């Protein structure tokens, strides 16, 4: 999966890029046959004016065929924010797949009902 990584108010080191890439590569098994069109990842600091340390955020926009799955998380640690956004994205992907399966089942049920009514 091709991933665009952007840093906001933070320097993107190779360690951060590799960590994001490894976490996003884990999503491929959850996606299954679904091929993402585009994957944008943005990591950075929300602002620099916090009294108790830095607040980091991670955001992922995963563009699929006809839909965009978006997840954003904030944490005190950048790597923790990346982990949380990946975990939440797994749940969103599962929900998306279930929704597609349910809509397909409904279409099949409607087609079967129409065939039965046509026979009567």
Phi/psi at 76 (5° precision): -75, -20
Cα(84)–Cα(49) distance, rounded to whole angstroms? 23
What is the pTM (predicted TM-score) of this model? 0.85
pLDDT per residue of the chain (120 residues) written in tens, 0 to 9:
789 999 999 999 999 999 999 999 999 999 988 899 999 999 999 876 766 778 899 999 999 988 999 999 999 999 999 999 999 999 999 999 999 888 877 777 777 666 665 655
Model pLDDT, residue 66: 86
Model pLDDT, residue 19: 97
Cα(44)–Cα(72) distance, rounded to whole angstroms? 11
Query: Which CATH number do you get for residue 108?
Result: 3.30.160.100
Range of the domain at 102: 3-119
Model pLDDT, residue 12: 95
**How many domains are contained in the chain?**
1
Model pLDDT, residue 115: 65
Residue 42, SS3 per DSSP: strand
Model pLDDT, residue 38: 94
């Amino acid at each position: 999966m091709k991933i665009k990584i952007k840093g906001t108010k933070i320097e993107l080191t190779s360690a951060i890029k590799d960590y994001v890439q490894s976490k996003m590569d884990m999503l491929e098994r959850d996606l299954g046959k679904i091929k993402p069109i585009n994957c944008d990842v943005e990591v950075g600091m929300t602002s620099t004016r916090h009294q108790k340390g830095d607040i980091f955020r991670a955001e992922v926009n995963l563009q699929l065929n006809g839909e965009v799955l978006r997840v954003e998380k904030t944490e005190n640690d950048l790597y923790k924010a990346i982990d949380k956004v990946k975990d939440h994205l797994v749940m969103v992907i599962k929900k998306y797949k279930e929704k597609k399966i349910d809509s397909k089942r409904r279409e099949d049920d409607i087609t079967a009902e129409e065939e039965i009514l046509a026979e009567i």
